[in-house]
Amino acid sequence: MTQSRVLIADDHPLFREALSNIVRSVMGHEVICIQTCTARETLAAVEEGSGFDLILLDLLLPGAEGFSCLMALRDTAPSTPIIIVSSSEHEETVRESFGRGAMGYLPKSSSQEVMRHALQLVMSGNSYIPSQALGVSGERAPDAPPPSREKTTPPDLCIAALTPRQRAVLELLAKGKPNKVIAYELGISEITVKAHVSAILRKLGVSNRLQAVIAAKNLVDQSPS
Q: Give the global pTM.
A: 0.63
Please report the domains of the chain, with CATH numbers, ordered by start residue: 5-134 (3.40.50.2300), 155-220 (1.10.10.10)
The stretch 161-171 carries a mean pLDDT of 83
Lowest mean pLDDT, pick from 15-24, 144-153, 177-186, 191-200: 144-153
Q: What is the pLDDT of residues 27-86, one digit of tens each?
A: 887 899 999 999 999 999 998 866 899 999 999 999 998 899 999 998 888 888 999 999
Write down the pLDDT at residue 18.
Answer: 95
Sequential DSSP letters for the chain: -PPPEEEEE-S-HHHHHHHHHHHHHHH-TT-EEEEE-SHHHHHHHHHTSS--SEEEE-TT-TT--TTHHHHHHHHHSTTS-EEEEES---HHHHHHHHHTT-SEEEETTS-HHHHHHHHHHHHTT--B--HHHHT-S-SS-SPPPPPPTTS---HHHHHHTS-HHHHHHHHHHHTT--HHHHHHHHT--HHHHHHHHHHHHHHHT-SSHHHHHHHHHHHHHHS--
Asked which of 51-60, 95-104, 215-224 is least confident by mean pLDDT, the reply is: 215-224
